Structure 1
Amino acid sequence: MTELVGGCFCGAVRYLSTAPVIDAGYCHCRICQGTCGAPAVVWISVPAAGFAFTRGNPSAFESSPRGIRYFCPTCGTQVTFRRPDSDEVDINSLSLDDPEAVLPEYHVWINTQLSWFKLQDSLPRYEDDGPDR
């Protein structure tokens, strides 16, 4: 069992995941770029049954019909993402207390990857959601 602990930048929102990690990957979609202000975000998928917020109440934002993003209402850090029809929670890897605890395994939505953002890894790349969606 993998325990992941983290939260927002200011500490008002904290979480704990005791479920095993399903997978982790870079997302290059325009929505992630816009909501995180970064060229890519690494999301870690875990079963929702093993995930809980332990401090604070994040604000929810429906960024598309396919996803709800959860942010700290104080500092604005995006900590999680959830599809309404899914039993998984995606954790923003940089919100972990130890952001090196889980390594990315792939890249998704590379059809909107920024041309100037070059990562020199050999991870699999997918035009859209990837193989497991």
Structure 2
Amino acid sequence: MNDSQGDDTVHQGGCLCGAVRYRTTGKPNDTNICYCTQCQRQSGAPMPAFANFDRDKVELVQGEPGSYRASGTASRQFCANCGSWLFWMQDGGTRISITLGSFDDPSDFPAPDYEIWTEHRIKWLSNIPGVDSYPGDN
């Protein structure tokens, strides 16, 4: 993220159909790529990307997302109307992972700080140069 963005930086995003909209305030704690099989299946992509914020920096401004639990440790939220995946939240956690592609301008965010669950990376993909990689969660 460029240095001109301070704690008052606002990013907005939402689902494909516009039924669910959100707003974040400040810089993300970090950005990442996840290769876990659950993220691959939910997104339909080999490597979904996320910006991670403290929950108190994220505001739902329109609509109410649906929720799904693919594991006993986290919830995945999406638009119940169009199916766009929006959020991943660990039970009892203080942070929320927001799918980078759901932001209005995902190019406002920096390259990923790290890659997780690389043991599930599709074979024809390689490490992102200069990015920390973890075979499981970091």
Q: TM-score range by the shorter chain?
A: over 0.9
Which deviates further from its counterpart, 119-128 or 70-79? 119-128
In structure 2, distance between residues paired with 1:67 and 1:120: 26
Give the ranges of 4+ consecutive aligned residues of structure 1 lying more than 4 Å apart after TM superposition.
none
Q: Which runs of 5+ in 2 are unaligned?
A: 1-6
Q: Which of the numbers 16, 22, 33 marks the counterpart of 1:15? A: 22
Q: Which of the numbers 81, 87, 99 marks the counterpart of 2:94? A: 87
Kindly indicate whether residue 53 of structure 2 is the aligned counterpart of residue 37 of structure 1.
no
In structure 1, distance between residues paired with 2:93 and 2:26: 15
> Kindly, what percent of the aligned residue pairs are identical?
29
Instruction: Tell me the amino acid that sits aligned with residue 64 of structure 1.
Output: S
Kindly indicate whether residue 64 of structure 2 is the aligned counterpart of residue 57 of structure 1.
yes
C-alpha displacement of 1:117: 2.6
Q: Deviations over 1:18-42 (max 9, x none)?
A: 1431111100000000011000111
Give yes or no for contact 1:107–1:123 (8 Å, CA) kept in 2: yes
Give yes or no for contact 1:46–1:89 (8 Å, CA) kept in 2: yes
Other-structure match for 2:11: 4
Q: TM-score, normalised by structure 1?
A: 0.92
Q: What does 1:43-122 correspond to in 2, within 5 Å?
A: 43-103=50-110, 104-118=112-126, 120-122=128-130
> Between Structure 1 and Structure 2, how many residues are aligned?
130
Other-structure match for 2:137: 129
Give yes or no for contact 1:19–1:51 (8 Å, CA) kept in 2: no
Give yes or no for contact 1:20–1:47 (8 Å, CA) kept in 2: no
